[in-house]
Chain A
């Protein structure tokens, strides 16, 4: 079975540019989560969706960040404009139900110069 698929694996861009991270959850999973991992703050939840609807976006750092889930098999996390402090590894995860173990993708390593 295919796991959670994230693209791109690496992204390097200059500050001020728009960045779009993509995620394809595991088929049949109805919950999707976006996380950010940094040395200072560890793994922190940004936003999660249930049945394509955003349930909790309290972890989204500021208005520059937005996330969408137009259908059950695709989600995007967008940063516009990007800043150097957004540099981190961004993970997407999905689960069959909100309280079941989450399965993670391999992440996108984002570097903002």
Chain B
């Protein structure tokens, strides 16, 4: 039972345009969400996070939107650059007890930004 789902295995975007990566979750106890970027032969790198008390968080070219009622979050990259080409993972964690700090990851979306 996959609690965090990234339904698009891949996304291709032109340089300068917006990239939108989507993520859905099923566990209503999740209250902290993160996006990671991963290059081949490297570990995932933290990009941006959002707490469930917010619906938007912005950091430079990266913005994460959270829709709690739909159990959906998205990552917007504007403008997209060729160096953004990587695998993007969505992750979620719940509050308290043994769930504290425990991340559940989606399967990842391969983003390719064409020059």
Q: Which residues of A contact B (CB under 8 A)?
A: 4, 31, 33, 42-45, 48, 50, 55-56, 58, 91, 93, 95, 97-99, 101-107
Contacts and interface: CB of A to CB of B under 8 A. Distances in A.
Contact of B34 (A45, A98, A101): A101
B89 interface: yes
B44 A98 contact: no
B49 interface: yes
Given A104-B45, A106-B41, A106-B43, A99 B108 contact: no
B101 A95 contact: yes
Contacts of A105: 43
A62 B11 CA distance: 36
25 contacts: A4-B43, A33-B103, A42-B106, A42-B107, A42-B108, A43-B44, A43-B89, A44-B105, A45-B102, A48-B101, A48-B102, A50-B101, A55-B100, A58-B98, A93-B43, A95-B101, A97-B101, A98-B100, A99-B32, A102-B101, A105-B43, A106-B42, A106-B43, A107-B42, A107-B43
Contacts of A95: 101
Given A50-B101, A99-B95, A106-B43, 15 more contacts: A33-B101, A42-B108, A43-B89, A48-B101, A48-B102, A58-B98, A98-B100, A98-B101, A101-B46, A102-B46, A102-B101, A102-B103, A105-B43, A106-B42, A107-B43
A73 B34 CA distance: 25
B101 A31 contact: yes
Given A42-B106, A42-B108, A43-B89, A99 B43 contact: no
Contact of A101 (B42, B49, B104, B107): B49
